Structure 1
Amino acid sequence: MATYNKRGYKPKNKVEKEQNIEADSTTAEVFNTLDETASKTEEFVQKNQKYIFVIIGLVAVIVLGSLGYKEFIAKPKQISAMNDMFQAQKYFDQAVTGVEKDSLYNLALKGGEGKFGMLDIIEEYSGTPSANLASYYAGTAYLRLKDYKKAVEHLENFKSDDEILGPIAKGNIGDAFVQLNQPEEALGYYEQALEMRNNEYTTPMYLFKAGAIALDLGEADKALAYFERIKADYPNATEASKVDVFVGKAQVLANK
Structure 2
Amino acid sequence: MSTVTSHQPGAFCWVELATSDQQAAKAFYSSLFGWNINDKDMGPNGVYTIFELNGNDAAAAYTLDPERQQGVPPHWSLYIATSDAEASARRCAELGGEILVPAFDVYDLGRMAVLKDPTGAIYNVWQPGKNTGIGIQNEANAFCWGQLNTSDTTKAEGFYKAMFNWGANTGTGGGMTYTEWQQDGIPIGGMMSLPESALAPSHWLTYFSVADCDAAVAKATTLDAQIYVPPSDIPGTGRFAVLADPQGAAFALYQQNN
Structure 1-normalised TM-score? 0.23
Larger-Rg structure = 1
Structure number with the bigger relative contact order (C-alpha 8 A, sep ≥ 6) is 2
Is the helix fraction higher in 1 or 2? Answer: 1
Structure 2-normalised TM-score? 0.22
